Amino acid sequence: MNIQRKELLVTSFALFSLFFGAGNLLLPPLLGYNAGENWFWVTVGFMITAVVIPIIGILAHARLQGTLYDFGKKVSPAFSLIYCIIIYVIAVAIPSPRTAAATHEIAIHPAFGTSPLLTSAIYFALVLVFVLNRSKILNLIGKFLTPFIVIMLLAVIGIGLSSSEFTTGASTFEIPIVTGILEGYQTFDAIGAVVVGAVIIVSLNFKNMKVSAFESKRKLIRQSGFIAGTGLFIIYAGLISVGAYYGSEIKVNSELSSDMQRANLLRGISIASLGEFGNTVLSVLISLACFTTAIGIVAGTADYFRGLFHKSQTVYVVTAVIACMAGIGVGQLDFNSIIVIAIPVLLCVYPITIVLILLNVLPEKLATSLVFRAVVLVTFLFSLPDVIGFISPSEGLKSITEYIPFSQYSLGWILPALVAFVISSVVQSLKPNEG
């Protein structure tokens, strides 16, 4: 059947909102501020890991139309099961609680002075209510919340840039494009793509969405992915440029923690753009952007474990409750502490997620089981030095990694993964009837 424009817009807005959370709003302005005159190259790097890879992930979902398990099953069923569990545990333990921490620090505490525990408890209680009514997620987020978020974001960016003198400070980054790539990790958007993409697919299967045929759903998901990706691109570029140009007029106290620097810069830009009303706009914007992302993460996690137990609704509810309780617990930490905890995890899991996304959009003859296994194994092995180096740096490790291209930028896995892809593809071509 033909895809109705209404369904396309609702799905596109919902997808954008499920992606756009705490890190997506707080990270770009300070990144642009520190990039200064090199903000364009930082933006290019940021877009690679925060927009391009995630949207390719949505395209992979459109092709597979299954669950996260399908992303890794060509490596092996055991690997895929372990990978899925790790991804969902990470999702409920880091990015989901981070949305509550950001909401508390920027929107709630300055206005009401409440404790992180109270904020997180109320926050995740509301998340749970929405997740347990998941058949309405797409319509609610797509029709009402996302348009409001986008309008406010464009207002801050548009007024900020139009009021700017278009002067920037000096860059603090040695290689801006690499900094942008690594900062894009912190958005969790690649992981978000494989998690919320499954949420979109399950939501489309509910009766209130008039899309049932495989080809219709694939077309809808692909088109909504491109629209959401375009929206993310515009918003990210706008926030980075505002941070670079308008941010140069706002003094950021370097003695503050990174999360307070981010919060104060964004608050300063909002107030300078919209007056004192900007403070209210920022609080509402942060709350809504974070809230929709938390809903997507918890719903996606509950969906996956529900599928493991014969689509048991009881398992869905129990998983959602546990995920929300974990969010309340970890949400007591400040935003920057959660970012620091996330770094070693991301250095290991993000590269694997990226190669799984890329392999799943390739034609079947290029992405065989042999290729999947070789590339994922090599990616994992060559990402370990980055993890170990962050947790426990040593001269011995440094003497080894200096022979690995790009390892000094925590990207030592890229070239080995490419070599593994080429070699395994050649080997596979010699065995055309296998894999």
SS (H, E, C) the chain: CCCCHHHHHHHHHHHHHHHCCHHHHHHHHHHHHHHHHHHHHHHHHHHHHHHHHHHHHHHHHHHHCCCCHHHHCCCCHHHHHHHHHHHHHHHHHCHHHHHHHHHHHHHHHHHHCCCHHHHHHHHHHHHHHHHCCHHHHHHHHHHHHHHHHHHHHHHHHHHHHHHCCCCCCCCCCCCHHHHHHHHHHCCCHHHHHHHHHHHHHHHHCCCCCCCCCHHHHHHHHHHHHHHHHHHHHHHHHHHHHHHHHCHHHCCCCCCCCHHHHHHHHHHHHHHHHHCCHHHHHHHHHHHHHHHHHHHHHHHHHHHHHHHHCCCCHHHHHHHHHHHHHHHHHHCCCCHHHHHHHHHHHHHHHHHHHHHHHHHHCCCCCCCCHHHHHHHHHHHHHHHHHHHHHHHCCCHHHHHHHCCCCCHHHCCCCHHHHHHHHHHHHHHHHCCCCCC
- Six token digits for residue 242: 């505002």
Rounded mean pLDDT, 392-416: 81
CB atoms near residue 429 (< 10 Å): 11
> Is the pLDDT assigned to residue 42 strictly greater than 80?
yes
- Six token digits for residue 152: 């406010």
Position 371 confidence tier, pLDDT thresholds 50, 70, 90: very high
CATH 1.20.1740.10 residue window(s) in the chain: 5-351
- Six token digits for residue 299: 């719903």
pTM: 0.81
The confidence score (pLDDT) of residue 319 equals 95
* Residue that wins the pLDDT comparison between 318 and 62: 318
Cα three-residue angle 356-357-359, rounded to 5 degrees:
65
Q: Is the dihedral of CA 352, 422, 70, 220 positive or negative?
A: positive
- Which CATH class, in words, describes the domain spanning 5-351? mainly alpha
The confidence score (pLDDT) of residue 40 equals 92
Residue 282 to residue 244: CA distance in whole angstroms: 19
The confidence score (pLDDT) of residue 207 equals 45
* Residue that wins the pLDDT comparison between 230 and 266: 230
Rounded mean pLDDT, 79-85: 90
The confidence score (pLDDT) of residue 3 equals 47
The confidence score (pLDDT) of residue 254 equals 55
> Is the pLDDT assigned to residue 13 strictly greater than 50?
yes
> Is the pLDDT assigned to residue 45 strictly greater than 80?
yes
* Residue that wins the pLDDT comparison between 407 and 205: 407
Position 140 confidence tier, pLDDT thresholds 50, 70, 90: low
Cα three-residue angle 169-173-176, rounded to 5 degrees:
100
Q: What is the pLDDT of residues 232-278, one digit of tens each?
A: 899 999 989 888 887 666 665 555 555 557 777 777 777 777 777 77
